[in-house]
Amino acid sequence: MPLPYKISTLLYVFNEQGQALLLQRTKEPNLGLWSPCGGKLQTDIGESPYDCAIREAQEELGITLSHNDLHLVGIISEHGYEGTAHWLMFLFEVKPPINQLPPPNEEGSFAFFDKADIPNLKLPQTDSEMIWQLVWEHRGGFFSAHCHCLEEGKNTWTLEESIKGGVNKISEPVKTNPKTPFWNESEKDSQTLSDINAPKEMAIDLETHHYFMGEAIKLASRAAKEGEVPVGAVIVKDGKIIARAYNQVELLKDATAHAEMLALTQAQAAVVDWRLTDCVLYVTKEPCPMCAGAIVHTRLSLVVYGAPDPKAGAAGSTMNLLQSTTLNHRCPIVSGVRIEECRRLLKSFFLDKR
Ligand SMILES: [Zn+2]
């Protein structure tokens, strides 16, 4: 059934201490949840996203803004949100700090929150699983992301564009992120399995994805050096790599020796179970039908891949076996992580072969 298409703007307002202004909503959608203020675009009067943001700031916050006070930090498209609508959302950062707490209004009441406290609030699902992380990472820059909302509340996110800290670089929030990047590519080059343990407090978020995809990329480069199609994979459980593999079809003379298959076997041995329920697979290329089938059988909790495979990819490109309604397990997907590096490896490998 076709769903209505809705457009909204959201206002990310911060005070001088870098705390974010949130509204606890007294109306559906998001009743009782904390979210940035904003609202629906008045498409019937031809309102632009910027004009909508300015109107919402006036109505909800009682402040008068101009276009120059706004920075478009992100665009998110949501396909089938709560099964009721498709949304296109324009996320604006309000550049001047706002220190005065606005009075409550008919939409709800306001409070400022430290960055560290926001994950503990009751938030809309898409805010807590991805949007806040994207906003914090891209303040002063720009991102665009797509969320495919599945039934059972499972969402598949694709980061389409990511430009960190652009020209209008806005002063960083005063609270520093405890998850400051800890990795250093050159230091991490010669690791063994045991020392690739990410800090325990790391949540599965974009920084994590970036880091673990880096490990898979190193494995893919090794495959290329050995004359194998450059695909690398790691499997992560509780922030630790429990399997690492690269494509070894030529070496093993085995058409099933794809990076993912080898990694799945290793991971099953590591957890002494065929179920990989709490494990995340990072792979540099979109899985093929064979690997996607194996991933479903092992019940992985998430697949993160780099480059799509338009010819044979089975995680959305030619078919989506990972989320087939006829199979008994469906696996969320994050795609496009470090896409350019993953793609470059494959491209240069096949160029050399010719
Ligand atoms: Zn495969």
User: What digits encode the pLDDT tens for the residues 265-299?
Assistant: 999 999 999 999 999 999 999 999 999 999 999 99
Give the model's pLDDT for residue 190: 31
Find the 114 Cα to ligand 1 centroid distance in Å.
44
Across residues 14-20, what is the average pLDDT? 91
For residue 36 the two structure tokens come to 């940035």
Find the 247 Cα to ligand 1 centroid distance in Å.
9
CB neighbours of 326 closer than 8 A, spacing ≥ 6? none
- Look up residue 54 and give its amino acid: I
Find the 261 Cα to ligand 1 centroid distance in Å.
7
Catalytic positions: 260
Nearest to 90 by CA among 164, 22, 10: 10
Find the 206 Cα to ligand 1 centroid distance in Å.
24
β pairing state of 155-163 and 232-237: unpaired
Find the 68 Cα to ligand 1 centroid distance in Å.
49
CA distance 85 to 250: 48
Nearest to 172 by CA among 68, 19, 18: 18
Query: In this structure, are residues 159 and 337 in contact, taking their beta carbons and an 8 Å threshold?
Result: yes
CA distance 273 to 263: 14
What's the whole-model pTM score? Answer: 0.52
CA angle 134/221/198 to nearest 5° reads 45
Find the 283 Cα to ligand 1 centroid distance in Å.
10
Give the model's pLDDT for residue 199: 36
Ion ligand 1: residues, CB < 5 A: 258, 288, 291
In tens, the pLDDT along 219-263 reads 999 999 999 999 999 999 998 999 999 999 999 999 999 999 999
Least confident of 131-140, 152-161, 342-351: 152-161
In tens, the pLDDT along 131-155 reads 998 898 888 888 899 888 877 677 8
DSSP letter assigned to residue 207: H
- Look up residue 21 and give its amino acid: L
Find the 285 Cα to ligand 1 centroid distance in Å.
9
Nearest to 294 by CA among 321, 271, 266, 318: 321
